[in-house]
Amino acid sequence: MSDHTRRDLLRVGAIGAGALLAGCTGNSSTETADAGDDSTATPTEETATPTPEDTSYSVEMAPVGSVEFEEPPQKVAHYFPGYADMAVALGHGDTVTSVGLPSRYHVDAYEELPGVSVDKESLTALIGDSGIDKEIFYELDSDLHMIDPVWLTQNSFFGLEQKDIEELTQNVAPFLGNTIFRRTDSWHDYRYYTLYEAFEKVAQVHQEQEKYRQFKRLHDAFLADVQTKLPSADQRPNGLLLFAASNEPEAFYPYRLSDKGTNKKQFHDLGITDALAGTGIEGLSTSDRGQIDYETILQVDPDSILLRGHETQTEQEFQDTVVAFMKEHPTAKELTAVKNDQVFRGGPIYAGPIHNLFLTERFATNYFPDSFEGELFDRDELAGIITG
């Protein structure tokens, strides 16, 4: 099938998706050709033509609705690295054309999985110095934008409006995706998805449902094994999740660990509770950009601190820079977490299913070294699922 034909078939769904986003309740559909002009004619061996098998399928996901596909997309634009990780997990990393900021797409874990990789250097950054240029989507010429369009229009820095989404849907490719990494934005008044619910939708897009089921079985067995070995709930610490990229941080953006966004999944699964519960301190969101300092943190005095913005460092580099600074800081050194060596890198902001397995293992061994050490799941088995 030519690129032109494939793109035209995808656009059938795109038109319906644009209508859904604008408030239409109907689903898009493809039209089938009429069987013939003469309904009374009886086909003969000489005149009958074979009817091609209908391979079209649809995937439905809020907020867009249903998008129709004739075949799996070969080029997919992404904003969130967590969704790109889903494509890699399904063996389709070669379809990923972009992410918002490639620096936030952490691919180190792939190096531990034989045969699994993504060409990060080839990915286009959607965000520029002045936001997102609509023309970049034309240049990418993707078959699908696996991006929540509301995320793009609700972030004023991006500079995109609903009319831009409708134009790109009509002229390039449909949008499909849901902002799932956090749940603190007032504009997100439509359905959320868990990590594996969203992963299943991506599997439907790529027609890799069986591979998804195998991946989920590995995840479920791994998690069940970990959770049976956890200390009792009253022996698990609380955590304060923060963002500060400096090696000598003085001010921090707080996240709510109780938030059900997908990048908190590993903490929930390990029973790490939110140190900000009941404090009145809210988490980072599109509308709330407030920061806190060491004096405020000392009032909370969390059992542990999880600091984001340091995923390019090794754990030892983090300890030698950030933690060493805290141990010398006149206020920070009074924190219980600093005194007890319970300050850790907080993991990536945008995490997919591969990320999540490695993060769950990392924090299980960080928090509960008496119960966990070494590798907690089989790398070869996981790689076999992905590449199989």
- Do residue 236 and residue 373 come from a single domain? yes
pLDDT per residue rounded down to tens, the chain (388 residues) = 445 444 554 544 443 444 444 433 333 333 333 333 333 334 444 445 566 778 899 999 999 999 999 999 999 999 999 999 999 999 999 999 999 999 999 999 999 999 999 999 999 999 999 999 999 999 999 999 999 999 999 999 999 999 999 999 999 999 999 999 999 899 999 999 999 999 999 999 999 999 999 999 999 999 999 999 999 999 999 999 999 999 999 999 999 999 999 999 999 999 999 999 988 887 766 666 689 999 999 999 999 999 999 999 999 999 999 999 999 999 999 999 999 999 999 999 999 999 999 999 999 999 999 999 999 999 999 999 999 9
Task: Give DSSP secondary structure letters for 245-270.
Answer: --SS--EEEEE-TT---GGGHHHHHT
Secondary structure of residue 307 in the 3-state scheme: strand
Residues contacting 82, CB < 8 A, separation 6+: 180, 181, 195, 262, 263, 350, 351, 352, 355
Provide the pLDDT for residue 318: 97
Tell me the one-letter amino acid at 21.
L
The answer on 243 and 161 residing in a single domain is no
Residue 199 lies inside a defined structural domain of this protein: no
pLDDT of residue 55: 87
Answer whether residue 18 is part of any domain: yes
- Which domain CATH number covers 348? 3.40.50.1980
List Cβ neighbours of 118 (8 Å cut-off, separation of 6 or more): 84, 88, 93, 94, 96, 107, 110
Backbone angles phi, psi at 254, to 5 degrees: -85, 145
Q: Return the HEC string of 83-141.
A: HHHHHHHCCCHHHEEEECCHHHCCCHHHHHCCCCCCCHHHCEECCECCECCCHHHHHHC
120 and 267, same domain (yes or no):
no
pLDDT for the residue 17: 43
Where do we find the tokens 């319906």?
Answer: 16
Residues 128 and 235 in one domain: no
CA dist., res. 240 & res. 237, Å (int): 10
- Number of compact structural domains in the chain: 2
Predicted TM-score (pTM) of the model is 0.86
Place of tokens 């080029």: 75
Task: Give 361's contacts (C-beta < 8 A, 6+ positions apart).
Answer: 372, 375, 376, 377
- Does residue 218 belong to any structural domain of this protein? no
Say yes or no: 133 and 244 in one domain.
Answer: no
Domain with 374 in it: 231-387
Per DSSP, the residues of 23-52 read T--PPP------S-S-TTPPP-TTT--PPP
Backbone angles phi, psi at 98, to 5 degrees: -160, 165
158 and 259 co-located in one domain: no
> Do 237 and 361 fall into the same domain?
yes
